[in-house]
Structure 1
Amino acid sequence: MLAIACDHGGYGLKQEILGYLDAHNIAYKDFGCDSTEAVDYPEYGRRAAMAVANGECDKGIIICGTGIGISITANKVPGIRCALCHDCFSAAATREHNDANMLALGARVIGAGHALKVVETFLNTPFSNDERHIRRIELIEK
């Protein structure tokens, strides 16, 4: 199960991603928001991050205008490794090396078509399980 959330600035991109998830039969839980009416991104980013941290969801995708604020919010939740990515290389690297469990996107930074490629890369790239990466993740968690 995938957690997904956004603020008003990320609402349109979230709708595009939901269409992708539906088309690929990927189960998700939508933590809002539900319109372009102004809201506070920390509320929505935290909800999705908590669902990933407590095991309700395996991974998460969060979106705001830049992706910065909502990723900072998610990373405040213990157990979350959220990466802000706007390219496929970074999305693959953060899964392979950091075992990132959340992806942040900036709707005002990336176009929908490219964002869907980044999402696909993030969701389909496995963690490498390399000893050095495991050690580094353990150091992050400390």
Structure 2
Amino acid sequence: MKLVLAADSAGKSLLDAVAAHLARQGEHEIVDLSVPADGSAETYAVMTDRAAEAILDGRAERGIFCCGTGIGVCISANKIPGIRAALTHDTYSASRAALSNDAQIITMGGRVIGPELAKSIVDTWLSSHFDPASPSAANVQAIDDLDRKHARIG
């Protein structure tokens, strides 16, 4: 699977642990679109926009984003029409993010959870897949309808 990863300075160490875990598995193509390599200051909203665009334009299928709490990158991602992001700090929410909400992105907080839990969350989410014939399909469709209704440019 093609995965886009992104983190601000507060979430980068957690994301690096997740990236190393995924690399060891050797099953995924990973692109890290975190803060610029030159270390210049950047808001997590700008970084999130860049990384979510990789999903929208087909360069990635799913994304894992981290900041201090996971909240800021989750809110930012959900502002982007066509994106469904879920804050996950346990394996149950990670599973439900995929199964019930067809979330393309999960977010986590580097100041909230440790690397071993983050790896379990990622593994759970990646092994869970939305069934468009499930009872949750109507809810996902309603979310997408809201997205289209409220998507405004300008």
Q: Normalising by structure 1, what TM-score?
A: 0.93
Bigger-Rg structure (1/2): 2
- Is the Cα contact below 8 Å between 1:59 and 1:101 reproduced in 2? yes
Q: 1:13 to 1:38 in 2, by over 3 A?
A: farther
Corresponding position of 2:132 = 129
Name the CA distance, whole Å, in 2 between partners of 1:5 and 1:66.
Answer: 14
Q: Normalising by structure 2, what TM-score?
A: 0.86
Count of aligned positions: 142
Name the CA distance, whole Å, in 2 between partners of 1:35 and 1:72.
Answer: 26
Corresponding position of 2:78 = 75
Amino acid at match of 1:74: A
Name the CA distance, whole Å, in 1 between partners of 2:41 and 2:68.
Answer: 12
Q: 1:126 to 1:76 in 2, by over 3 A?
A: same
Q: Which residue of 28, 31, 36 maps to 2:33?
A: 31
Corresponding position of 2:112 = 109
Please state which structure has a larger fraction of its residues in helix: 1
Name the CA distance, whole Å, in 2 between partners of 1:63 and 1:129.
Answer: 28
- Give me the identity figure in percent: 35
Name the CA distance, whole Å, in 1 between partners of 2:128 and 2:117.
Answer: 17
Name the CA distance, whole Å, in 2 between partners of 1:21 and 1:39.
Answer: 26
- Is the Cα contact below 8 Å between 1:9 and 1:36 reproduced in 2? no
Q: Any idea what SS the aligned residue of 2:10 has?
A: helix
Q: 1:47 to 1:70 in 2, by over 3 A?
A: same
Q: Deviations over 1:34-66 (max 9, x none)?
A: 588754111111111111122211000000000
Q: Which residue of 49, 57, 60 maps to 1:54?
A: 57
Q: Any idea what SS the aligned residue of 1:42 has?
A: helix
